[in-house]
């Protein structure tokens, strides 16, 4: 039998509907692949072998009984460890939650279950999603399947690496400043940040509540769109959820047509600080889209340059208050409870022991930004910058349908390279952060390998609020044209991982 | 906090234009106490200069927005979201206490809250 782990989600679904493979066989093949390569990749914090096989058996039983099933029923998926799944360890990459088993499912997990999607396990991430490399995980660093000496991006590096290492055809990430798109770019996979409020945050361990957005990851645009459709839509459990129909993302991915589409290249997202190989692949992709009939113009978004500083005020401010809940009283770690220490002392000792450096940095930065005398100068000003960035987008969308840029200024960097240089690390997300501040939709699609290092480059597409379908329209057109050029998808060029038995 | 004087942003902006915003080791120690994190001296030595650099970076926002720009707190304007006033199932006490560091008599057991004197 052909290797089931090399199939797309769509192909796996076809094998199941035609009776050529069962979900249990497909799930087992992916569990075997995890056993063979995850020692090197380290994408998973927890593999739920029994739970996954039970979910798969249930899908097979339903299919056998002739029940109506969703298009991805029986397909396995890797879940970022920041979303709760009842009874399965959920840590958000932090020691403070080590061993915690949530008593409820997040909305994303509920929807995955009702779609019959099989959850293989929980993927590694930077602690509380604070980081761009997984090096801030309290457990271990995930390795990039394209080059095991390099980071896979972050915070959702585990999810993207799992997909790129053929450990799962689908994965869920969360994007607060680029945590789906940047790892997607670094691993040669597709990553989509839906419109804020388009996917539910219920059961997502909050980093920055006004920015956090769950979204889909996969190796192809169509697989990503199908997963997007499965998890998106209004949820009464999330008060910021949008009460509208899910944009027609699957139709758009199938249409793969940019003829007549107006595309704006963001002038400010390029030039100094951008790796030549990244810019080369980006501009070739823009040319390719022009050949496919898109009208391309240059667009200026003058306030994007302030997105990074504004983000590093808004995020730490929200994070510092969200993470106040880790107080050693109701769940998670408790340190120093010796019968003498006060609750406050225990709290301080626990947070000292349970949080890593980056979490401490951001909590203190947020505490500073929100303290009296600084609030207006920092947080208040940052919120005004947010308005200016929204206006930049609004002005741009009067001229064009979508905006494009490289997804990241560079390709994946070596492990350890920026681990103790927070500002260099923050600059990874220069291209992705403006969208989070404005709340619209964006995606990264693989667009080739940089000449300098043969590592994947991501093509970033930014669409207006609730026009997530446009991302897929551009991404699938680009994917088809590039596949024709290369004689296959980019992932086919990835080096084979050594398999251990 | 936000209402601590309308003129304040202007004054602070002028100050920030003249001086790079910065933070001392003592101020970082104070922030750690406010945030209930018992930092070690070694951590303070390490984190304080990094925070100082980050604060210089984020201080750039003070140069940008004019006073007439309204702040955006949420990406999409959604206000007064209410759920229907209906009883819905919730966690059982056993489920709620399952992750507790310590529980007694169907309650969370916590360290002493009052000072001894």
CB A120, CB A46: distance < 8 Å = no
CA gap A5, A321 in Å, rounded: 42
pLDDT of res. B21: 72
Rounded to the nearest 10 degrees, the angle between the axes of helix A9-17 and helix A23-41 is 150
Per-residue DSSP letter, A434: H
Q: Is residue B76 within 8 angstroms of chain A, CB to CB? A: yes
DSSP label at residue B85: S
Contacts of B104 (CB under 8 A, 6+ apart): none
| Secondary structure (H, E, C), A202-254 | CCECCCCCCCCEEEEEECCHHHHHHHHHHHECCCCCCCCCCCCCCCCHHHHHH
Phi and psi at residue B57, in whole multiples of 5°?
Answer: -65, -50
Is residue A80 part of the annotated active site? The answer reads: yes
Residue boundaries of the structural domains of chain A: 4-304+386-493
Dihedral Cα B15, B19, B23, B26, nearest 10 deg = -90
The CA distance from B72 to B93, in Å, is: 39
Q: How far is B44 from chain A (nearest CA, A)?
A: 10
DSSP letter, residue A302: G
Interface test with B, best of A311, A376, A380, A439 (most B CBs within 10 A): A376
What residues of A are in contact with residue B76 (Cβ under 8 Å)?
A: 196-197, 240, 242, 439, 465
**Chain A (172-201) residues lying within 8 Å, Cβ to Cβ, of chain B:** 196-197
- What is d(CA A220, CA A250) in angstroms, rounded to the nearest whole number? 12
A424 touching chain B per CB within 8 A: no
Catalytic residue among A7, A80, A110, A193: A80
- How far is the C-alpha of A490 from the C-alpha of A36, rounded, in Å? 23
Q: Are A294 and A265 in contact (CB under 8 A)?
A: no
Burial of A220 (0-12, 13-18, 19+ CB in 10 A): buried
What is the nearest CA distance from B17 to chain A, expressed in angstroms? 12
Length of chain B: 117
CB pairs under 8 A between A and B: 204
Instruction: Output the pLDDT for position B20.
Output: 59
In angstroms, what CA-CA distances link A95 with A91, A156, B7?
7, 17, 43
Q: List phi, psi (to 5°) of B68.
A: -85, 5
By CB atoms closer than 10 A (0-12, 13-18, 19+), residue A296 is middle
Closest CA to A455 of A139, A147, A120: A147
3-state secondary structure of A446: strand
Break chain B into its structural domains and give their ranges: 8-66
Local structure of A289: helix, strand or coil: helix
Identify any residues that bridge with A190 across adjacent strands, giving them in sequence order: A218
Query: Which pLDDT score, from 0 to 100, does residue B116 have?
Result: 63
Please report the ipTM that was assigned to this predicted complex: 0.92
Q: What is the 3-state secondary structure (H, E, C) of A447-462?
A: EEECCCCCCEEEEEEE
CATH fourth-level superfamily of A4-304+386-493: Amidase signature (AS) domain (3.90.1300.10)
The span from the CA of A218 to the CA of A227, in Å, is 8
Q: What is the pLDDT of residue B78?
A: 81
Interface of A with B in 93-122 (CB under 8 A): 100-104
Quick one: pLDDT at residue A304?
96
Cross-strand pairs, A119 = A77
Question: Would you say residue B67 has pLDDT above 70?
Answer: yes
Burial A337-368 (b: 16+ CB within 10 A, else e): beeebbbebbbbbbbbbbbbbbbbbbbbbbbb
Sorting pLDDT into bands at 50, 70 and 90, what band is B117? low
Identify which of B62, B83, B113 has the shortest CB distance to residue A377: B62
Query: Which of A447, A433, A438 has the alpha carbon at shortest distance from A178?
Result: A433
pLDDT in tens, chain A (501 residues): 579 999 999 999 999 999 999 999 999 999 999 999 999 999 999 999 999 999 999 999 999 999 999 999 999 999 999 999 999 999 999 999 999 999 999 999 999 999 999 999 999 999 999 999 999 999 999 999 999 999 999 999 999 999 999 999 999 999 999 999 999 999 999 999 999 999 999 999 999 999 999 999 999 999 999 999 999 999 999 999 999 999 999 999 999 999 999 999 999 999 999 999 999 999 999 999 999 999 999 999 999 999 999 999 999 999 999 999 999 999 999 999 999 999 999 999 999 999 999 999 999 999 999 988 888 889 999 999 999 999 999 999 999 999 999 999 999 999 999 888 888 889 889 999 999 999 999 999 999 999 999 999 999 999 999 999 999 999 999 999 999 999 988 999 999 999 986
Residues 6+ apart with CB under 8 A from A98: A91, A138, A332, A333
Note if A62 is an active site residue: no
pLDDT of residue A129: 98
CA–CA separation, B52 vs A327, rounded Å?
27
> Tell me: the pLDDT tens digits for B8-24?
333 344 444 444 578 99
Q: What is the pLDDT of residue A27?
A: 98
Work out the burial of residue B38: count CB atoms within 10 Å of its CB; fewer than 13 is exposed, 13-18 middle, 19 or more buried.
middle
Q: Report CA dihedral (A141, A147, A148, A154) to the nearest 10 degrees.
A: 10
How would you classify the pairing of strands A441-449 and A295-299?
unpaired
Any catalytic annotation for residue A360? no
Q: Would you call B31 and A345 a contact, using CB atoms and an 8 Å cutoff?
A: no
CB-nearest to A381 from B9, B34, B55 is B9
The 10 Å CB-count burial string (b at 16+, else e) for A325-334 is ebbbbbbbbb
């Amino acid at each position: 039998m052909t290797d089931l782990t090399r199939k797309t989600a769509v192909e796996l679904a076809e094998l199941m509907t035609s009776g050529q493979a069962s979900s249990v066989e497909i799930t087992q093949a992916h569990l075997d692949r995890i056993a063979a390569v995850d020692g090197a990749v380290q994408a998973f914090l927890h593999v739920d072998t029994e739970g996954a096989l039970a979910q798969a058996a249930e899908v097979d039983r339903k299919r056998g009984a002739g029940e109506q099933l969703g298009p991805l029923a029986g397909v396995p998926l890797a879940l970022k460890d920041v979303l709760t799944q009842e009874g399965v360890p959920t840590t958000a990459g932090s020691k403070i939650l080590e061993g915690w088993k949530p008593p409820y499912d997040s909305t994303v997990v509920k929807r995955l279950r009702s779609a019959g999607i099989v959850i293989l396990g929980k993927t590694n991430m930077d602690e509380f999603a604070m980081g761009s490399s997984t090096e801030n995980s309290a457990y271990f660093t995930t390795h990039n399947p394209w080059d095991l000496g390099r980071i896979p991006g972050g915070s959702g590096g585990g999810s993207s690496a799992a997909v790129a290492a053929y450990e799962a055809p689908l994965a869920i990430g969360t994007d607060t400043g680029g945590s789906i798109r940047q790892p997607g770019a670094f691993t040669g996979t597709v990553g989509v940040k839906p419109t804020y409020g388009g996917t539910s945050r219920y059961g997502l361990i909050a980093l920055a509540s006004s920015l956090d957005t769950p979204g889909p990851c996969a190796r192809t645009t169509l697989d990503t769109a199908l997963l997007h459709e499965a998890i998106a839509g209004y949820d009464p459990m999330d008060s910021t959820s949008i009460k509208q129909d899910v944009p027609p993302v699957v139709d758009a991915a199938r249409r793969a047509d940019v003829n007549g589409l107006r595309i704006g290249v963001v002038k400010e997202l390029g030039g100094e600080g951008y790796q030549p190989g990244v810019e080369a692949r980006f501009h070739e992709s823009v040319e390719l889209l022009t050949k496919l009939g898109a009208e391309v113009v240059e667009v200026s978004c003058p306030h994007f340059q302030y997105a990074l500083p504004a983000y590093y005020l808004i995020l730490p401010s929200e994070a510092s208050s969200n993470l106040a809940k880790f107080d050693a009283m109701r769940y998670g770690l408790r340190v120093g409870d010796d019968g003498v220490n006060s609750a406050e002392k225990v709290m301080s000792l626990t947070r000292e022991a349970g949080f890593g450096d980056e979490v401490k940095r951001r909590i203190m930065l947020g505490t500073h930004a929100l303290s009296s005398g600084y609030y207006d100068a920092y947080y208040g000003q940052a919120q005004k910058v947010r308005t200016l960035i929204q206006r930049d987008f609004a002005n741009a969308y009067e001229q064009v349908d979508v905006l494009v840029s490289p997804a990241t200024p560079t390709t994946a960097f070596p492990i350890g390279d920026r681990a103790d240089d927070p500002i260099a690390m923050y600059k990874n997300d220069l291209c992705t952060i403006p969208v989070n501040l404005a709340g619209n939709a964006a995606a990264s699609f693989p667009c080739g390998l940089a000449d300098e290092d043969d590592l994947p480059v991501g093509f970033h597409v930014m669409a207006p609020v609730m026009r997530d379908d446009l991302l897929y329209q551009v991404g699938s057109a680009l994917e088809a044209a590039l596949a024709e050029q290369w004689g296959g998808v980019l992932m086919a060029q990835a080096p084979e991982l050594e398999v251990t038995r | 906090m936000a209402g601590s004087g309308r003129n304040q942003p202007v004054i602070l902006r002028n100050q920030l234009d003249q001086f790079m915003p910065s933070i001392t080791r003592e101020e970082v120690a104070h922030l750690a106490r406010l945030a209930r994190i018992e930092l070690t001296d070694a951590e303070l030595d390490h984190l304080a200069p990094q925070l100082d650099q980050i604060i210089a970076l984020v201080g750039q926002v003070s140069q940008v927005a004019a006073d007439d720009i309204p702040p955006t707190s949420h990406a999409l304007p959604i206000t007064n979201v209410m759920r229907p006033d209906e009883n819905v199932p919730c966690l059982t006490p056993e489920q709620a206490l399952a992750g507790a560091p310590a529980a007694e008599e169907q309650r969370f057991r916590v360290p002493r809250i009052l000072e001894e004197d």
